[in-house]
């Protein structure tokens, strides 16, 4: 059995914490990682404060195979992610030649202002993550992947990054939906979890059209086991619905 690969995500964003913006990047990263067999184990949303970004990245990069960040890599004064990640990785920023060439090509020499040149400041040893939308690249240093906050750009960067990551066995999932109440299925579902200990049995209630319902979600890297557990859940739902 291949080893488990884990990841964490750091969303750098006062605009998320202030409620101004609804984050859309976490779900995209989560889905992408599932596809390639990497487990997203935690997410932190932190303010644009240097000390907090540094300590968070430092802690998570030592705990997980991969850390993904979104936000704070533009040209304005509040874009401090690159310098924070450099410090968390015990290195410094330098003008990256490839990043410079990308920006030169995109803006032309006349328009390559100091503000724009700031986006060519990449940690020493960093590898660029290309930005097909607006040129300014993200970067990878150590096991940290630094991406834009604008969803369209972040998604393009993540697609590119995901192609080159090592992952383990892909977790498969099966969902059984029912309008039975959670409290009706709780005991029998607990028994099924007991029976299939290596299957993660989750129960996620929802509220739709004025009624509660439950999505019962089974997850495992063993497709055969999953099918048997799913069959048990379906039989349970049928039995309790009578």
Straight-line distance from the first to the last Cα atom of the chain, in angstroms, rounded to the nearest whole number: 41
Asked if 236 touches a second copy (CB under 8 A), the answer is no
Give the span between the Cα atoms of 217 and 39, in whole angstroms. 16
Residue from 36, 127, 133, 180 that binds a second copy (CB under 8 A)? Answer: 133
Give the span between the Cα atoms of 159 and 200, in whole angstroms. 27
Give the span between the Cα atoms of 115 and 219, in whole angstroms. 47
Asked if 150 touches a second copy (CB under 8 A), the answer is yes
Residue from 92, 124, 170, 212 that binds a second copy (CB under 8 A)? Answer: 212
Q: How far is the CB of 13 from a second copy (least distance, A)?
A: 9
Asked if 169 touches a second copy (CB under 8 A), the answer is no
Helix (H) or strand (E) holding 47, with range, is none
Q: Measuring CA to CA, which residue among 143, 146, 124 is closest to residue 62?
A: 143
Q: How far is the CB of 94 from a second copy (least distance, A)?
A: 20
Q: Measuring CA to CA, which residue among 21, 144, 151, 23 is closest to residue 82?
A: 144
Q: Given the rule CB under 8 A, which of 81-89, 93-101, 113-121, 227-235 is the region that contacts a second copy?
A: 113-121
Q: Please give the DSSP secondary-structure letter assigned to residue 91.
A: -
Residue from 91, 172, 203, 227 that binds a second copy (CB under 8 A)? Answer: 203
Asked if 21 touches a second copy (CB under 8 A), the answer is yes
The answer to whether the beta carbons of residues 173 and 217 sit under 8 Å apart is yes
Q: How far is the CB of 228 from a second copy (least distance, A)?
A: 18
How many Cβ atoms sit within 10 Å of the Cβ of residue 80? 17
Q: How far is the CB of 125 from a second copy (least distance, A)?
A: 25
Asked if 219 touches a second copy (CB under 8 A), the answer is yes
Asked if 33 touches a second copy (CB under 8 A), the answer is yes
Q: Which of residues 72-111 bind a second copy (CB under 8 A)?
A: 74-79, 107
Helix (H) or strand (E) holding 45, with range, is strand 38-46
The answer to whether the beta carbons of residues 44 and 9 sit under 8 Å apart is yes
Minimum CB distance to a second copy smaller for 21 or for 227: 21
Q: How far is the CB of 27 from a second copy (least distance, A)?
A: 5
Q: Given the rule CB under 8 A, which of 81-89, 123-131, 176-184, 234-242 is the region that contacts a second copy?
A: 176-184
Q: How far is the CB of 112 from a second copy (least distance, A)?
A: 9
The answer to whether the beta carbons of residues 116 and 82 sit under 8 Å apart is no
């Amino acid at each position: 059995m291949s080893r488990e690969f884990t990841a964490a995500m750091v969303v750098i964003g006062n605009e998320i914490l202030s409620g101004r913006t609804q984050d859309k990047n976490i779900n995209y990263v989560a889905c992408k990682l599932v596809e390639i067999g990497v487990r997203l184990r935690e997410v932190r949303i932190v303010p644009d404060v240097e000390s907090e970004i540094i300590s968070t990245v430092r802690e998570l990069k030592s705990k997980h195979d991969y850390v993904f960040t979104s936000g704070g890599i533009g040209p304005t004064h509040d874009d401090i992610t690159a310098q924070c990640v450099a410090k968390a990785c015990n290195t410094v920023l330098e003008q990256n030649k490839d990043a410079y060439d990308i920006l030169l090509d995109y803006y032309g020499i006349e328009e390559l202002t100091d503000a724009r040149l700031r986006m060519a400041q990449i940690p020493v040893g960093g590898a660029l993550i290309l930005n097909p939308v607006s040129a300014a690249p993200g970067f990878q240093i150590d096991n940290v992947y630094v991406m834009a906050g604008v969803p369209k750009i972040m998604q393009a960067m993540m697609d590119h990054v995901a192609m080159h990551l090592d992952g383990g066995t892909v977790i498969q999932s099966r969902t059984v939906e029912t309008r039975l109440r959670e409290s009706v299925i709780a005991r029998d579902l607990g028994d099924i979890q007991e029976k299939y200990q290596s299957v993660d049995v989750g129960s996620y209630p929802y509220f739709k059209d004025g009624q509660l319902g439950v999505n019962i979600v089974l997850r495992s890297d063993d497709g055969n086991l999953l099918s048997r557990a799913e069959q048990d859940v379906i039989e349970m739902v049928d039995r309790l619905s009578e």
